Amino acid sequence: MIKANIITVEKQGRHRYFKYASEEIAQIIESIAGLIPLNDEYKKIKTNKLTNFTYARTCYDHLAGCLGVKITASLVDQKIIEISDKNYRVTKLGKKWFSEMDIDTDTIQLKKRSFAHQCLDWSERKHHIAGALGASLLEAMIKKDWIRKKINSRELILTSKGKLALKNKLNLDV
């Protein structure tokens, strides 16, 4: 199916994630699945229950979970960052936005690590922002008391100040 360009595989560390190769393929599969009659033996696919850990946590040194994915999507929607292959690029508007967050994107780009790349979130199965920019964003959010680290855990706590700031800065309801 990979050779036929029906599915693609994304490697991340030791994990492999498979997805439909295009939106058109997904629509075709969904249409075919709609033809299958459901019977009593049909069992609904179980989805992961949202917990504090899957809502907001660190992934190495950057923000992950539902919150990390929503923030990344909002950064893209607001044209603060844009997707370029498997990376993110900061736009002209983004330079200003990150500067207001006390993040100097020019200095961060000089670091000897990936600047901003996509990291597939295991609980959301969508990407969040990783690399030096993702780490700097999390650090800035902690410094501003938008997010707090839970002791001896990767779990993060979104503060009421953070909820208000995300609404004001990214038009994000969380």
What is the per-residue pLDDT for 41?
61
Strand partners, 12: 15
Handedness of CA 165, 167, 169, 172 (dihedral sign): positive
Low-confidence ranges of the chain (pLDDT < 50): none
Q: Which helix (H) or strand (E) holds 170?
A: helix 160-170
What is the per-residue pLDDT for 40?
61
What is the per-residue pLDDT for 164?
98
Q: CA nearest 135: which of 64, 56, 55, 52?
A: 64
What is the per-residue pLDDT for 28?
85
What is the pTM assigned to this prediction? 0.79
Q: Which helix (H) or strand (E) holds 88?
A: strand 87-90
Helical pair 65-77 and 160-170, crossing angle rounded to 10 deg = 20
Q: Which helix (H) or strand (E) holds 87?
A: strand 87-90
Domain boundaries defined on the chain:
1-46, 52-170
What is the per-residue pLDDT for 113?
93
Give the model confidence (pLDDT) of 61-101 as tens digits.
999 999 999 999 999 999 999 999 889 999 999 999 999 99
Instruction: Give CA–CA dist 72/126, Å, rounded.
Output: 10
